[in-house]
Amino acid sequence: MLDLRLLRSDPEGVQGRLRRRDPTVDLAPIVALDEERRLLAGTADDLRRRQNEASERIAILSKEGRQGEVDRLREEMRAVASERKRVEVRLQEVERELDSLLLSLPNVPHDSVPDGTKEEKVILRTFGEKPVFPFLPKHHVALAQALGLLDLERAAKVTGARFPMYTGDGARLELALLHWMMEFHVREHGYTPVLPPILANRASFVTSGQFPKFASEVYACPEDDLFLNPTAEALLVNLHRDEVLAEEDLPRKYVAYTPCFRREAGTYGEEGRGLIRVHQFNKVELFHYTTPETSYAALEEIVSHAEAILQRLGLHYRIALLPAGDLAQQSAKTIDVEVWLPGQDRYYEVSSCSNCEDYQARRGNIRYRPADGGKPRFVHTLNGSALATSRLFAAVLEQNQQADGTVVLPPLLADLLGQRTLRTS
């Protein structure tokens, strides 16, 4: 949520910055509602004051036996009470409308974020070289099914399309990746591990920014008003909701494993095949709570931690800065880590690392008390996958495939699984 005082003081400036990501943003209704809200609140306060003063006056007049004046004043106050009720009802309506509009606004892009849409992202750097094959590289689905690592047909029978089922060495590889990444971030980068609930309540999704705008994209349990986690960010941002942290305790750095669930409505052609765009996937998520002054250094740190996973696995990837038109609702700046899939001759995002600044903190009332005193300030929140395993799994297979259809595992994974090669049994 944006700072209403900022919208009030510079509506044209904020609207111009928001239109970098959405040309249709119009702050005029918000400014008008805010002005009406303040006028109504002032009127309600004035009417309340008049009632209080009249009550004191009536008490004095009653003691003096001046019943006629008491009756006239009470009649006048009945009209005041009726007017106050009307004003307060409208005030509640205006506050609900204003809150709804404020919750629908996206975050303001950081000045370093370029203009443009998805196709105009900026490639910042690459790691390693694209693997070269003396044969036509296969798609990960062909490799996985031939090696008995995935059973997509039985997964569809059990649940439906675009839900994966890992089998045999595929299940072992998936679990090995998840366990190793969790341990790596705890031991190497000092994160506190968390295994959060998979379900979250409505307030949690409002804080994270998924609600109200993207409620239709989340799997719901309506009888309980609970929702399946689409990303651990939505859970971790609520760890300190309605809390005031000490500056000395920042940054707070958490790593969590969760299965993630997304409707992903629509058809995506090649992206809907295999592990690229699925309704359920596994992910290790990094999350930071920081001061405003340190949040952009923290963003670079999260990106480096996501990169470290791919570097340890020897996978070719690139780093991309997203333009304003491709930012998530809550993000002020996002840097993607994209891994190369030779079977599809393209890069796919395996991690989005975002600084949400104080957008989520305002929605969740998450603050810290400065070490040198003063009023509590809102924290900055940051998140990044490190990593999502579905596309990582695909990259391991596609970048390490051999001409005979086997996959030679990177040394780290070979040690974890106790075998050098994935092959048909």
Considering only residues 399 and 71, tell me which one the structure prediction assigns the higher pLDDT. Answer: 399
Q: What is the pLDDT of residues 332-362, one digit of tens each?
A: 999 999 999 999 999 999 999 999 999 999 9
Instruction: Tell me which of 352, 354, 385, 390 is the catalytic residue.
Output: 352
Q: What is the pLDDT of residues 161-183, one digit of tens each?
A: 999 999 999 999 999 999 999 99
- What was the pLDDT predicted at 1? 84
As a whole number, the mean pLDDT across the chain is 95
pLDDT tier at 200, thresholds 50, 70, 90: very high
Q: Residue 277 catalytic?
A: yes
Instruction: Tell me which of 20, 262, 363, 367 is the catalytic residue.
Output: 262
- Tell me what the mean pLDDT of segment 382-403 comes to: 97
Q: What is the pLDDT of residues 289-332, one digit of tens each?
A: 999 999 999 999 999 999 999 999 999 999 999 999 999 999 99
CA-to-CA dists, residue 246 to 303, 375, 399, angstroms: 26, 12, 46
176 closest CA partner among 257, 292, 114, 268: 257
- Tell me what the mean pLDDT of segment 151-164 comes to: 94
Q: Residue 385 catalytic?
A: no
Alpha carbons within 13 A on the beta-carbon side of 416: 19
Question: In this structure, are residues 335 and 322 in contact, taking their beta carbons and an 8 Å threshold?
Answer: yes
Instruction: Tell me which of 36, 349, 362, 420 is the catalytic residue.
Output: 349
pLDDT tier at 216, thresholds 50, 70, 90: confident
- Tell me what the mean pLDDT of segment 266-273 comes to: 62
Instruction: Tell me which of 37, 172, 277, 367 is the catalytic residue.
Output: 277
Question: In this structure, are residues 306 and 319 in contact, taking their beta carbons and an 8 Å threshold?
Answer: no
Question: In this structure, are residues 256 and 178 in contact, taking their beta carbons and an 8 Å threshold?
Answer: no
153 CB-near residues (< 8 Å, 6+ apart): none
Residue 265 has pLDDT above 80, yes or no: no
Task: Output the DSSP codes for 312-338.
Answer: HTT--EEEEEPPGGG--TT-SEEEEEE
Q: What is the pLDDT of residues 281-299, one digit of tens each?
A: 999 999 999 999 999 999 9
Q: Can you tell me the distance from the alpha carbon of 290 to that of 382, in angstroms, rounded to the nearest whole number? A: 8
Residue whose structure tokens are 């333009």: 323
Q: Is the peptide bond before 251 cis (omega within 30 degrees of 0)?
A: yes
Task: Output the DSSP codes for 206-271.
Answer: HHHT-TTTTGGGS-EETTTTEEE-SSTHHHHTTTTTT-EEEGGGPPEEEEEEEEEE----S--GGG
Q: Can you tell me the distance from the alpha carbon of 5 to that of 378, in angstroms, rounded to the nearest whole number? A: 14
For the chain, give the percent of residues with pLDDT over 70: 98
Residue 423 has pLDDT above 80, yes or no: yes
- Mark out the alpha helices in 139-201 (DSSP H runs): 140-146, 152-158, 169-189
Q: Residue 349 catalytic?
A: yes
Q: Give SS3 for 39.
A: helix
- What was the pLDDT predicted at 393? 98
Q: Can you tell me the distance from the alpha carbon of 195 to that of 255, in angstroms, rounded to the nearest whole number? A: 9
Question: In this structure, are residues 170 and 424 in contact, taking their beta carbons and an 8 Å threshold?
Answer: no
* CA pseudo-torsion sign 236, 239, 242, 243: negative
For the chain, give the percent of residues with pLDDT over 90: 90
14 CB-near residues (< 8 Å, 6+ apart): 2, 6, 7, 27, 108
Q: Please report which helix (H) or strand (E) contains residue 385, including its range.
A: strand 380-388
CA-to-CA dists, residue 141 to 76, 162, 301, 392, 403, angstroms: 80, 12, 33, 13, 16
- What was the pLDDT predicted at 199? 96
Q: Residue 48 catalytic?
A: no
Token couple for 333: 């700046």
CA-to-CA dists, residue 366 to 88, 103, 296, 340, 361, angstroms: 29, 16, 18, 38, 5
Q: Can you tell me the distance from the alpha carbon of 43 to that of 205, in angstroms, rounded to the nearest whole number? A: 35
Q: What is the pLDDT of residues 32-70, one digit of tens each?
A: 999 999 999 999 999 999 999 999 999 999 988 889 888
Q: Residue 37 catalytic?
A: no
- Tell me what the mean pLDDT of segment 378-398 comes to: 97
pLDDT tier at 264, thresholds 50, 70, 90: confident
Q: Is the peptide bond before 387 cis (omega within 30 degrees of 0)?
A: yes
Residue 272 has pLDDT above 90, yes or no: no
Q: Can you tell me the distance from the alpha carbon of 293 to that of 379, in angstroms, rounded to the nearest whole number? A: 10
